[in-house]
């Protein structure tokens, strides 16, 4: 007597609410931890700066590269929002294109950041300001790099058809991390590039 074949199990659907997803909570906890890290770094920057006779000891950082770099990172968030909205509608090609543009903009951001580092007349060991400047921007550089790696692996999975309009938790989590990195840069940009112009005097 032949055995009756068992039907193949359907893939488990994602919960309808993101707050029911362990992966979502994991990303929230990661972002909260990293936000605390940058909060401590920026607090140290302002605390030490308030005690210094001249902060920064050199002229305020130029906006020639930092301002367009900020715009590039903000545009990368916009393209990722466009890409994710496409995935929510089941438009996989739109997601792939939008994410590819985001990755390209992120790489450009890192290249411009390296170019700015190269043009600095001080280093991490020059003084307290130099140490904090390179530490804060260096940590953000590392976070952008991690974000790009996350986007790249989700991009590959999207091209392989792993996501759909009803199942794309990894897409949402990765997008959330990337937007967090962009928000952190806005705080860093304001602290390191704008506030010195408010209190610096020759």
Q: Which of 174, 160, 152 is closest to 107 using CA atoms?
A: 152
Q: Which domains does the chain have, with CATH numbers?
A: 34-49+60-199 (1.20.120.80)
User: Per-residue confidence at 202, pLDDT binned at 50, 70, 90?
Assistant: low
User: 131 near 124, Cβ under 8 Å?
Assistant: yes
Q: At 148, which helix (H) or strand (E)? A: helix 128-159
- Cα–Cα distances (Å) from 69 to 41, 127, 133, in that order, read 21, 25, 16
H/E segment holding residue 11: none
Residue pLDDT, tens place only, 126-174: 889 999 999 999 999 999 999 999 999 999 999 998 888 888 888 999 9
Of 124, 139, 132, nearest in space to 181 by CA? 139
pLDDT in tens, 18-44: 555 778 888 999 999 999 999 999 999
pLDDT tens for each residue of 47-92: 998 888 888 888 889 999 999 999 999 999 999 999 999 998 989 9
Share of the chain above pLDDT 90, in %: 66
For the chain, how many helices (H) and strands (E)? 6, 0
Tokens 């029911």 — which residue?
Answer: 20
pLDDT in the model for residue 167: 85
* Predicted model pTM: 0.86
Cβ neighbours of 63 (radius 10 Å): 14
End-to-end CA distance of the chain: 95
């Amino acid at each position: 007597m032949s055995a009756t074949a068992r039907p193949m199990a359907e893939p488990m659907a994602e919960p309808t609410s993101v707050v029911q997803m362990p992966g979502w909570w994991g990303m929230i906890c990661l972002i909260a931890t990293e936000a605390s890290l940058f909060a401590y770094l920026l607090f140290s920057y302002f605390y030490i700066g308030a005690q210094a006779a001249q902060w920064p000891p050199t002229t305020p950082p130029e906006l020639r590269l930092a301002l367009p770099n900020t715009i590039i990172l903000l545009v990368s968030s916009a393209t990722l929002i466009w890409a994710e909205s496409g995935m929510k509608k089941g438009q996989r090609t739109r997601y792939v294109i939008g994410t590819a543009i985001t990755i390209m903009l992120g790489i450009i951001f890192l290249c411009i950041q390296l170019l700015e580092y190269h043009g600095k007349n001080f280093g991490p060991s020059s003084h307290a300001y130099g140490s904090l400047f390179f530490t804060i921007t260096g940590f953000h550089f590392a976070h952008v790099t991690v974000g790009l790696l996350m986007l790249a692996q989700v991009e590959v999975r999207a091209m392989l058809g792993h996501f759909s309009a009803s199942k794309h938790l990894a897409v949402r989590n990765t997008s959330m991390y990337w937007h967090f990195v962009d928000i952190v840069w806005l705080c860093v940009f304001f602290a390191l590039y704008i506030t010195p112009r408010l209190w610096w005097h020759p």
